[in-house]
Chain A
């Protein structure tokens, strides 16, 4: 079945939520479309509402997979938790064969890595290449030990991909009043990201949305509001390019040849941030990195 037919079928099956207006970013020379949910696993009505919008969005923005930024199952990992906090809200997507790629948050049981629909292949950290030219690196920011950083360096060094996207739970940059930037993790990861030319980083943990101004040539996004929201928690700082902390949300992203297009959609189907961000060249990144030191 072609993707177009699947998209139509999903649109037809979509009940209770119409496609958010305008969810169709520019797609010249498109490479890859994907969606992002963070801190989703509460099992309550907010998660389900976000899920409905996520499903509806696929009719106009046919994303090929979803990445999960951790805290996939809050408060337990029994059979009911998997069902109520993952399988039920995303059933229509799962039934259509859509893949989810998860990372572990501080509320997750490590053994979620064995759960096949999370596509972690039994590992805390892993990489995948959904299409030529794009590689994703899923990290376990709860436990950044030597085995993981050695692995990351090796995989990044071997990666010839044009786009390098990292995702994990704890944000290196954040204006959150409750958590804020994880500076110790930043000390560990940022030099590696810079050395090997990571382009964009997506994290959760904070229950809001924040787009960080590019840091040393890397785009950082905080997106932890697909099941929880911490209203008014963004203390806007010099880091903030755009923030949204009054409702639930998820992200839609498209990687084109040299552009990252994205939209941030609320549980009401409203778009609260969108942009087409140019990919920084390695030369630009080096310049920005040097300037900021």
Chain B
């Protein structure tokens, strides 16, 4: 019976191949508990952001660049106030950060990936949790294989890199939610 189960599992893996969804991959990994904790923390942030986003002025489609920028800044202020005093590591906890580093390592070591990430790197800038992503700097492109190696995020929350640091960025508020220093080799 055990042999049949093993064969069935192997068959299922062979059939599904690369179509195994990233989320399923994480749910069945040995790090599932830690990544589950990450998911809970991200969802908590997402709820906080949604609440802040409902307040005026809303970030919505507009003919005015000024209105969009004002709404973005207003949202950042409200989130900032709601998370006042937040420290690095609230989402990337000491238990979660090493798991992310391990997930990133195989991808970040590939030469082509390194080149792609280096290509759009912003200039060396200082940043902090609950502070803005530097407005005049480019936003570093994250190669698809790197994104596929990490858990999916809610809409408008992104992984980005500044140098070797993995940033969790709220794209709507242009805010740095948390980061892992030296996340990649």
Contact = CB atoms under 8 A, between A and B. Distances in A.
Given A145-B152, A183-B112, A115 B65 contact: yes
B36 interface: no
A185 B144 contact: yes
Contact of A106 (B65, B68, B120, B144): B120
For chain A, give the interface size range: 35 or more
B88 interface: no
Given A77-B69, A146-B147, A179-B119, A184 B61 contact: no
Nearest to A170: B141
A82 B65 CA distance: 6
A106 B62 contact: no
A79 B155 contact: no
B63 interface: yes
Interface string A142-177: 111111010000000000000000000010000000
A76 interface: yes
A78 B62 CA distance: 13
Interface string A118-152: 00011000000000000000000111111101000
Interface residues of B, number: 39
B113 A184 contact: yes
A144 B61 contact: no
A145 B144 contact: yes
A292 B63 CA distance: 46
A109 interface: yes
Interface string B37-68: 00000000000000000000001111111101
11 contacts: A77-B135, A78-B69, A79-B64, A82-B64, A82-B65, A108-B139, A111-B69, A143-B158, A145-B153, A149-B144, A184-B143
